[in-house]
Amino acid sequence: MLISLSEIMNVKDKVEHIQALIEMNEIIFDGIEYKLLRKEPADLTIKNLGNREVLIEGSGKLSLKVFCSRCLKEMEYPMDISFSKEIDFKLTEEERAEDLDETSYIIGYNLDVDILMKGEIILGLPMKLLCSEDCKGLCMHCGANLNEGPCGCDNTVLDPRMSAIRDIFNNFKEV
């Protein structure tokens, strides 16, 4: 959804509250597709700070379809997003992009809510998503889900520092 900021920019100290619909249905990040299962309209407050500066504050609730990082089980991940962005229109788009704040969600004098929310969702994703704190993951030999029970594979882990001694015993069976 595009929101025109030109009308807000014309009146100093003007504040506008907007319920913006999130039109995207999925996000692709790092080669992984995240589908939006539930999305509520974003609550935006846009304020003209004067001197060609605008403050954008907002929040939103949504949930993503994700997969557990250990066992690959499909699950729903709810997110509460809140943000506050200050945009300086005195700077050119290139100067704003050089700044630490990536402002690709501002196109001319229009705010693209989907791009803004996508960036905030990506920032809010944890490094690892787990279906439960005690998720056991998958067996490294047969791929069975260990949360459903043991698989029967031999999971003996040998100390690699003892490999030279093991080789001696394997080479000389009479010892």
* Per-residue pLDDT reduced to its tens digit, 62-110: 999 999 999 999 999 999 999 998 888 887 777 766 665 555 788 888 8
Residues in Cβ contact with 17 at an 8 Å cutoff, skipping those fewer than 6 apart: 43, 44, 45
Q: To which residue do tokens 């935006």 refer?
A: 44
Q: By C-alpha distance, which of 39, 43, 19 is closest to 27?
A: 39
pLDDT in tens, 102-127: 557 888 888 899 999 999 999 999 98
DSSP strand E in the chain: where? 2-4, 15-20, 26-29, 32-39, 42-50, 53-67, 74-88, 106-107, 110-112
pLDDT in tens, 124-166: 999 899 999 999 999 888 889 999 988 888 777 788 888 888 8
Question: What span, in angstroms and rounded, lies between the C-alpha atoms of 133 and 94?
Answer: 44
Q: What angle do CA 98, 50, 92 make, to 5 degrees?
A: 25
Burial state string for 88-106 with b = 16 or more CB within 10 A and e = fewer than 16: ebeeeeeebeeeeeebebb
Provide φ and ψ at 94, rounded to 5°: -65, -40
DSSP letter at 44 equals: E
SS3 72: coil
| Confidence at residue 19, expressed as pLDDT on a 0 to 100 scale | 93
User: How high does pLDDT run on average in the chain?
Assistant: 87
pLDDT in tens, 144-153: 999 998 888 8
Instruction: Give the Cβ contact number of residue 157 at 10 Å.
Output: 5
Q: Which two tokens stand for residue 110?
A: 């229009």
pTM over cut 0.75:
yes
